[in-house]
Amino acid sequence: MYKQTCTNLLEQPPEKVKEWLNGFDAVITDCDGVLWVYSNVIEGAVDTMNRFKTIGKKIFFCTNNSTKTRQQLLEKSHSMGFDITAEGMISSAHSTAAYLKARNFQKKVYVIGACGITGELDAVGIKHSEVGPDVMTSTLADYLATNFHKDTDIGAVVVGFDEHFSFCKMIKAATYLDNPDCLFIATNTDERFPMPGMVIPGSGSFVRAVQTCAEREPFVIGKPNPSICEWLINEGTIDPTRTLMIGDRCNTDILLGYNCGFQTLLVGTGIHKLNDVEAWKNSDDPEQKKLIPDVFLPKLGDLLPFM
Ligand SMILES: C[C@H](OP(=O)(O)O)C(=O)O
Ligand SMILES: [Mg+2]
């Protein structure tokens, strides 16, 4: 049976919240929209995550953000005061490089993305195209004649967040993907970034654009694909039934929790809100029921008084 309820923890008596806090031994938290929004840490997030660690819970950060390497994400986290180790940091760029390494990928990657992806590919010795602007400066015919020399060593196209996304990059990606042997990998498909007051397109906007003209589906590395953190279960590091997944986006974070059998907490500091949950509760679509979190809080720091 699919979930039909979502409990707002702030409406529960303190003893119920404390009982809930004792119901898990590991916490996997999303980053953008839960811990921070861009470079702005969210109030109470540092103290809450560090308190989880102090009271003996295993903590992991799991971000779909592919713009940074795992080391850069660690530096960002430490600069904000989070007590997180390299082993606890899971990212879509690092997981993408690990996926290709595990397949013994020997060719070159055409990258639509940022230095997070190319940095992680460098770390495992996988060749790649350079990132940055690639724009049409004259006619299409001129561009194709002077700027697109098909690289026969390309064996994969990886698409992540790319602030320099362009028509030219779509041409190159789709042309490489016209070869069915060329891998099509997406770091993640988040539709937009959590940014109050404006819409910042996320990786998903670029992946769907390439997918459309390539007429192919990508393999998605990031949440909600369970493989980004299933290794924690397979290694016996976490018990899924006693693991809490915290997120701000239900079609990635909460759905990952559903896919892995985790408990789930939605916080209201990012993409999805309680009114979205109400709509899914009223829907007849079983797929939307998977997006309903177990519990909700306006922000992660609301847990502090109970810890
Ligand atoms: C927003 C998302 O990051 P996350 O919320 O997974 O940390 C992304 O960078 O597309
Ligand atoms: Mg998020």
Question: Per-residue DSSP letters for 116-151?
Answer: HHHHHHHHTT-EEPPPS-----S-HHHHHHHH----
Atom of ligand 1 nearest to the CA of 64: 6
Sorted by where each starts, the structural domains of the chain and their CATH numbers stand as 1-56+286-307 (no CATH), 94-220 (3.40.50.1000)
CA angle 60, 66, 69 (to 5 degrees): 70
Please give the torsion angle defined by the CA atoms of residues 47, 49, 51 and 53, in that order, rounded to the nearest 10 degrees. Answer: -150
233 C-alpha vs ligand 1 centroid, how far in Å?
22
Please state whether beta strands 219-220 and 36-37 pair in parallel, antiparallel, or not at all (unpaired): unpaired
Provide the β-strand partners of residue 244. 27, 263
Which residue's CA is minimally distant from atom 9 of ligand 1? 65
What's residue 196's pLDDT? 83
**What CA–CA distance (Å, rounded) separates 236 from 228?**
15
122 is an active site residue: no
Residue bearing tokens 């950060």: 61
- Annotated catalytic residue within 30, 162, 294, 302: 30
Any atom of ligand 1 within 6 Å of the Cβ of 162: no
What's residue 195's pLDDT? 86
**Token output for 78:** 């430490």
The total of other beta-carbon atoms located within 10 Å of residue 35's CB is 27
Any atom of ligand 1 within 6 Å of the Cβ of 202: yes
Please give the torsion angle defined by the CA atoms of residues 59, 269, 90 and 123, in that order, rounded to the nearest 10 degrees. Answer: -140
Atom of ligand 1 nearest to the CA of 202: 10
Mean pLDDT of residues grouped by 10 in the chain (307 residues)?
A: 82 97 98 96 98 98 98 98 97 98 98 98 98 94 92 98 98 98 98 90 98 98 96 97 98 98 98 96 95 98 97
Residues at Cβ < 5 Å from ligand 2 ion: 30, 32-33, 248-249, 270
- Annotated catalytic residue within 25, 32, 122, 181: 32
Any atom of ligand 1 within 6 Å of the Cβ of 36: no
Any atom of ligand 1 within 6 Å of the Cβ of 251: no
145 C-alpha vs ligand 1 centroid, how far in Å?
37
Report which DSSP code applies to 271: S
**What CA–CA distance (Å, rounded) separates 31 from 37?**
8
- Probe target for ligand 1 pocket from 37, 65, 251, 271, with the most ligand atoms within 8 Å of CB: 65
> Which residues sit in the known binding site?
30, 32, 223, 248
